[in-house]
């Protein structure tokens, strides 16, 4: 644990410590949340998978947009990063129609102000990826918003820069993942401003917690897809008659093992690095 670092916050998954005025230590726990509720059961190594994958992508996308990563620690779950003033929106990119995007499309034919062609099915590929931001709800669920709503919260130049960077990083990662048999259906980025006012990619990036990863070989639009993310744990939660408020259900051993296996498989397929090799030497993802 960080010596002499001040604990400055807890997210659902991460603990934040201030190393100094400019630097934070982000420690990813093994906690899992479904439907925005942290479950009482942890998924061993999940925090390492999220940290390793984020660092892997940060190392490969910094020429598209600068990011907050400064150093990866030996425990494989802690990153030293630049402290940012986070933007008030979550920057979601969708290449496929799923989750709340599919729900919005079904009722309105649009997602966050983008009018989509009629006749799309659940999980359909969009002709172009779209930027579909949401509010950052302090409690409860994020809400999808259009550009006009977002501009009540931030300057247009900043919104446009975040949109452009989000689409560019998504496009890079989605091509990269496709070549490894994984579809990145959608993903969420969080950007912030550094002390000089530059846009910097923060938080985690392109992980199974922030994205929907689908195995490309069995992809078929027209319904939900199997995935490498917490959908497996979510599906279990749906079977136990839980009302999606605290406290969440305990996960049985086979759901824990199945979820861990999916996270680790996503890590290994995307990075090409054995997860045990990452644990032995986290900096392997930076090379």
Ligand X SMILES: Nc1ncnc2c1ncn2[C@@H]1O[C@H](COP(=O)(O)OP(=O)(O)OP(=O)(O)O)[C@@H](O)[C@H]1O
Q: How far is the CB of 200 from ligand X (least distance, A)?
A: 7
Which one among 81, 89, 205, 284 touches ligand X, defined by CB under 6 A?
A: 81
> How many CB atoms lie under 10 A from the CB of residue 86?
15
Comparing CB distances to ligand X, the nearer of 121 and 137 is 137
Q: Which residue is nearest to ligand X (CB)?
A: 11
Measured distance CA(114)–CA(89) in Å, rounded: 17
Q: Pick the closest to residue 133 from 106, 109, 153 (CA basis).
A: 153
273-285 b/e (C-beta count within 10 Å ≥ 16 → b):
bebeebbeebebb
Which one among 27, 55, 72, 84 touches ligand X, defined by CB under 6 A?
A: 84
Measured distance CA(110)–CA(91) in Å, rounded: 17
Is residue 203 part of the contact set for ligand X (CB under 6 A)? yes
Region from 79-87, 107-115, 252-260, 273-281 binding ligand X, contact rule CB under 6 A: 79-87
Is residue 18 part of the contact set for ligand X (CB under 6 A)? no
Burial bucket for residue 63 (CB in 10 Å: 0-12, 13-18, 19+): exposed
Is residue 13 part of the contact set for ligand X (CB under 6 A)? yes
Q: How far is the CB of 84 from ligand X (least distance, A)?
A: 4
Name the site residues for ligand X (rule: CB under 6 A): 11-14, 16, 24, 68, 81-84, 86, 190, 192, 202-203
């Amino acid at each position: 644990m960080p010596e002499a670092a001040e604990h400055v916050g807890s997210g659902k998954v991460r603990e934040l410590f201030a190393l100094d005025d400019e630097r934070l230590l982000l420690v990813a726990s093994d906690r899992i949340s479904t439907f925005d509720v942290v479950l009482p059961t942890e998924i061993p190594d999940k925090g390492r998978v999220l940290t390793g994958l984020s660092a892997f992508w940060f190392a490969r996308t910094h020429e598209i947009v600068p990011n907050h990563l400064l150093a990866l620690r030996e425990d494989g779950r802690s990153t030293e990063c630049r402290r940012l003033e986070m933007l008030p929106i979550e920057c979601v990119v969708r290449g496929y129609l799923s989750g709340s995007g599919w729900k919005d499309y079904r009722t309105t034919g649009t997602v966050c102000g983008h009018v989509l062609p009629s006749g799309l099915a659940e999980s359909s590929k969009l002709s172009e990826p779209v930027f579909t931001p949401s509010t950052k709800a302090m409690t409860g669920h994020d809400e999808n918003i259009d550009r006009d709503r977002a501009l009540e919260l931030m300057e247009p130049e900043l919104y446009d820069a975040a949109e452009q960077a989000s689409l560019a990083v998504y496009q890079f990662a989605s091509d990269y993942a496709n070549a490894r048999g994984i579809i990145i259906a959608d993903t969420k980025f969080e950007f912030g401003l550094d002390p000089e006012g530059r846009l910097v990619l923060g938080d985690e990036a392109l992980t199974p917690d922030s994205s929907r990863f689908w195995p490309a070989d069995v992809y078929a639009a027209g319904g939900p897809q199997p995935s490498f993310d917490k959908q497996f744990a979510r599906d279990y939660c749906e079977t136990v008659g839980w009302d999606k408020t605290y406290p969440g259900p305990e996960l049985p051993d086979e759901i824990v093992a199945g979820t861990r296996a999916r996270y680790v498989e996503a890590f290994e397929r995307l990075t090409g690095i054995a997860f045990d090799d990452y644990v032995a030497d986290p900096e392997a993802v930076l090379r």
